[in-house]
Amino acid sequence: MTRFAIIDIETTGIQFKQGKITEIAILIYQNGQIVDQFESLINPETSIPFEITRITGITNEMVEQAPKFYEVAKKILEITHDAIFVAHNVQFDYSFVKEEFSALGYSFSRKKLCTVQLSRKHFPGLKSYALGNLIKHFNIEVTDRHRAYQDALATSKLFHLILHANDHATDFMNQLVSNVKDAKLPGSLKREDVDAIPDEVGVYYMCNESGDYVYIGKSINIRERIYQHFSETGYKVSKMLRQVHRIEYTLTGSELMAQLLESSEIKKYSPEINRAQRSSKDQYAMYRTLNDLGYFQYLIKHKEWLDEKADVVQLFSSQKKASEYLDYLIHEYHLCEHVNGLKKNELLPCYRYQIGICLGACAGHETKESYNERFEIMHQKINRFFQRNFILFDKGRSESEVSVFVIENGFCNAIGYLDKDNSYEQPEVLKESLKSFRGNIETNGIINQYIKKHPSLRKIYF
């Protein structure tokens, strides 16, 4: 019968890279009841902030004589062996436990279930799925909130309710377990090799027996994403199972760095499975050029057929959408459809000029200089170039460094890692310590989206 390790921890903070565990409770749930348990205060070997003490009641004096994590690590491994790691907001508890073991040089790996996600699915419509609100909603008896044992006990009661939320609890249990079953791996990959891959952000490379990359991907949790690949079905996965011989990876610290690295590596190596699964998203480009008579115009091509130096301003998922947008621009900015579609060395009055929309470049009533000047103003409004030069800072691969991205003359042209303690205010000095990077319209889109999601990132304009 499946064993579930229902776990709750208290910590010195909310970031697993900076915080430490101060208390842990583990309840082993099997056959509908608690069959084993372990709880202990833990000496975090650092001071507990006042606000944390206020919330949990755990003081520095209480943990002073408590065992350090390495002293209870063996017990945690033993009691959770062959059990599924269950917690309310499981990624929080799992990340702290994983990090504590990592500091000891051990890679902790367990299958996971989250009672927040399960509660949302099986008890829809509640105002909040925080543990405190669920305790109130289901009248779960708790004597001491924000202490590990009581919160783990409350989570176990919630888990029991979830399992028995319908009349077929046994069937549901089997279905639940099947969702976290072991992934089927390629014959040449050993499970211990995959388990040794960090559950951190970075780029991974699936290699065939000859060492060629057949698939390149990125993830905020590389190991979990690889297992996810092999737990799925479909043509892509079947190719992975046949071809993948080993997996390499590069940790990036920064999710943005992972996205940019993945983009450039796929372009550089063109892995077979990446090519096969390439979707139609953003496959058509609208770019600026000069026509035969020297007028600016926009043309549309599939991006695979573009010259690398093409002045691309937008990307589209289909040629139809690109054409519709171009038609909108011609109408909105009073451009000439004949000029924009010119393929011969002469101009003829267009239909839009006859109805008063075109300003008359095609009829000789607007000079080339005036037309191109108006076109340039529009171009600056709609293009996806960065209009200002700036340096962007993000997380590094360790606490002592930051990742750095230099955006200059419209594109990202340098990336890398620098010492966190230095200010690096001078762009030219800073760039000497970075790697050159060939940004493009796609990477601009990646950077723009990332900045929108993380508006507090540090920027220096120059």
Task: Count Cβ atoms within 10 A of the Cβ of residue 455 and give its class: 0-12 exposed, 13-18 middle, 19 or more buried.
Answer: exposed
Q: What pLDDT, on the 0 to 100 scale, is given for residue 28?
A: 97
pLDDT interval class at 80 (50, 70, 90) = very high
Strand partners, 83: 3
Give phi and psi for 193, each to the nearest 5: -70, -40
Average pLDDT for 346-368? 87
Structure tokens at 409: 């003359």
Task: Count Cβ atoms within 10 A of the Cβ of residue 92 and give its class: 0-12 exposed, 13-18 middle, 19 or more buried.
Answer: middle
Q: What pLDDT, on the 0 to 100 scale, is given for residue 87?
A: 96
Q: Is pLDDT at 382 greater than 90 in this prediction?
A: no
Q: What pLDDT, on the 0 to 100 scale, is given for residue 64?
A: 95
Q: What pLDDT, on the 0 to 100 scale, is given for residue 36?
A: 96
DSSP string covering 82-114: TEEEEETTHHHHHHHHHHHHHHTT------EEE
Place of tokens 């889109």: 445
Q: For this structure, is 122 an active site residue?
A: no
DSSP structural state of residue 301: E
Q: Is pLDDT at 247 greater than 90 in this prediction?
A: yes
Which of these is catalytic: 81, 88, 137, 146? 146
Average pLDDT for 354-371? 90
Higher-scoring residue by pLDDT: 412, 182: 412
DSSP structural state of residue 68: B
How are strands ordered across the β-sheet holding 213-219? 213-219, 202-207, 246-251
Q: Which range, 108-122, 159-173, 254-268, 343-357, has the best average confidence (pLDDT)?
A: 254-268
Q: What pLDDT, on the 0 to 100 scale, is given for residue 160?
A: 92
pLDDT interval class at 143 (50, 70, 90) = confident
Q: Is pLDDT at 168 greater than 80 in this prediction?
A: no
Q: Is pLDDT at 42 greater than 50 in this prediction?
A: yes
Q: What pLDDT, on the 0 to 100 scale, is given for residue 224?
A: 80
Proportion of the chain above pLDDT 90, given as a percent: 50
Q: Is pLDDT at 263 greater than 80 in this prediction?
A: yes
Q: Distance (Å, rounded) from C-alpha 95 to C-alpha 86?
A: 13
Higher-scoring residue by pLDDT: 16, 170: 16
Q: What pLDDT, on the 0 to 100 scale, is given for residue 344?
A: 58
Tallying the residues shown for the chain, one arrives at: 462
Q: Is pLDDT at 343 greater than 70 in this prediction?
A: no
Q: Distance (Å, rounded) from C-alpha 268 to C-alpha 273?
A: 14
Q: What is the torsional sign of CA 8, 14, 17, 22?
A: negative
pLDDT interval class at 2 (50, 70, 90) = confident
Q: What is the pLDDT of residues 187-204, one digit of tens each?
A: 888 888 888 888 889 999
Q: What pLDDT, on the 0 to 100 scale, is given for residue 277?
A: 58
Cβ-based neighbours of 381, under 8 Å, separated by 6 or more? none
Q: Is pLDDT at 181 greater than 80 in this prediction?
A: no
Q: Are 180 and 82 in contact (CB under 8 A)?
A: no
Question: Which residue in 2, 450, 455, 47 sits closest to 254, CA to CA?
Answer: 450
Q: What pLDDT, on the 0 to 100 scale, is given for residue 204?
A: 97
The helix (H) or strand (E) run that includes residue 223 is helix 222-231
Query: How high does pLDDT run on average in the chain?
Result: 87
Q: What pLDDT, on the 0 to 100 scale, is given for residue 391?
A: 93
Q: What pLDDT, on the 0 to 100 scale, is given for residue 175?
A: 63
Q: Is pLDDT at 213 greater than 90 in this prediction?
A: yes
Q: Distance (Å, rounded) from C-alpha 142 to C-alpha 149?
A: 10
Helix axes 169-178, 148-163, angle to 10 degrees: 110
Q: Is pLDDT at 356 greater than 70 in this prediction?
A: yes
Distances (CA, A) of 241 to 214, 270, 406: 11, 19, 39
Proportion of the chain above pLDDT 70, given as a percent: 92
Q: What pLDDT, on the 0 to 100 scale, is given for residue 48?
A: 95
Q: Is pLDDT at 280 greater than 50 in this prediction?
A: no
Q: Is pLDDT at 307 greater than 90 in this prediction?
A: no
Helix axes 148-163, 115-122, angle to 10 degrees: 40
Structure tokens at 165: 């939320």
Q: What pLDDT, on the 0 to 100 scale, is given for residue 275?
A: 79
Average pLDDT for 388-410? 92
Q: What pLDDT, on the 0 to 100 scale, is given for residue 9?
A: 97
Q: What pLDDT, on the 0 to 100 scale, is given for residue 166?
A: 66
DSSP structural state of residue 161: H
Average pLDDT for 85-104? 91
Average pLDDT for 296-320? 84
